[in-house]
Amino acid sequence: MDDIRLTRQIDARTGVPWTRTQTRVLGEAQIRTFEALCRIGGRRPHELASDLVLQALRELRYDPEVQKVIAEISEALADPDGGPWCRVCGCTDEAACVGGCAWTPDPLLLGDLCSACLPQVSRTVGEVGEAAAIGALLDHLPHADAAELMALARTCPADHIARSAADVGGLLEGLRAELAAVVTVAHDQAQAAEAWLASLETAGEASA
């Protein structure tokens, strides 16, 4: 996908994925409005910006168009042929870190990791302890979505897990093809019904 990609990271303590973004307020009128909203709500600027973003996410999460794009993003993240990308900095084979980097095993087994980010992750493991970090991952597994599970399976050192991930990927592709066939038939039937109704309306107008 050529879409803008946020850099995803994993909280070592909770195992919950998170990302950071930055908002720029332009124009004196907008700045003053933003400051007024901060004062009214008793929120600091970054807190208010976060509140507004989260509110928009909650309101739009179930919008059909948003759901369509969510599905596309999830598919891209779960696509084993899409190539690895570092879970910390987002680098890829085509866009490596400045100064160069290489793929390296992730101490937390949370996804693809590049050598440039390994020291940062290793420090995190040292701060929380390996057992605590693995425990957080264990707690998160029951709540992980399909894309996360596929990413974890691809980087798992156990060969049978990687093979299972490949099998699941094949099953998903088969399911996708079957769903596409069924939806195509439904789409054709709906178009035929609409054309038939339109012809009845046309005939009715002609006889009037």
Q: Which residues pair with 113 in a beta bridge?
A: 104
* Cα distance between residue 200 and residue 186, in whole Å: 21
Looking at residues 132-147, what average pLDDT do you find? 72
Q: What are phi and psi of 25, to 5 degrees?
A: -95, 120
User: Residue 37 has what pLDDT?
Assistant: 92
Those residues whose C-beta lies under 8 Å from the C-beta of residue 155, and which sit 6 or more positions away, are: 105, 106, 109, 110, 111, 112
User: Residue 79 has what pLDDT?
Assistant: 59
What the block records as the tokens of 144 is 């992980």
- Of 72, 74, 23, nearest to 49 (Cα)? 23
User: Residue 82 has what pLDDT?
Assistant: 63
* Cα distance between residue 134 and residue 108, in whole Å: 7
Q: What are phi and psi of 178, to 5 degrees?
A: -65, -45
**Is the per-residue pLDDT at 205 higher than 50?**
yes
Q: Which residues pair with 92 in a beta bridge?
A: 85
- Longest Cα–Cα distance of the chain, Å, equals 83
Pairing of strands 9-10, 103-104: unpaired
Tens of pLDDT, residue by residue over 34-65, are 999 999 989 899 888 888 888 888 888 777 78
* Cα distance between residue 123 and residue 121, in whole Å: 5
Q: Which residues pair with 147 in a beta bridge?
A: none
User: Residue 31 has what pLDDT?
Assistant: 92
* Cα distance between residue 91 and residue 144, in whole Å: 23
SS3 107: coil
Tens of pLDDT, residue by residue over 157-192, are 677 887 887 788 778 788 888 888 888 889 889 989
**Is the per-residue pLDDT at 1 higher than 60?**
no
User: Residue 29 has what pLDDT?
Assistant: 92
Tens of pLDDT, residue by residue over 78-134, are 655 667 778 777 778 877 887 888 888 877 767 778 888 888 777 766 666 667 767
User: Residue 86 has what pLDDT?
Assistant: 81
Determine contact, residues 93/83, Cβ cutoff 8 Å. yes
Residue 179 Cα distances to 6, 57, 77, angstroms? 30, 28, 20
User: Residue 134 has what pLDDT?
Assistant: 72
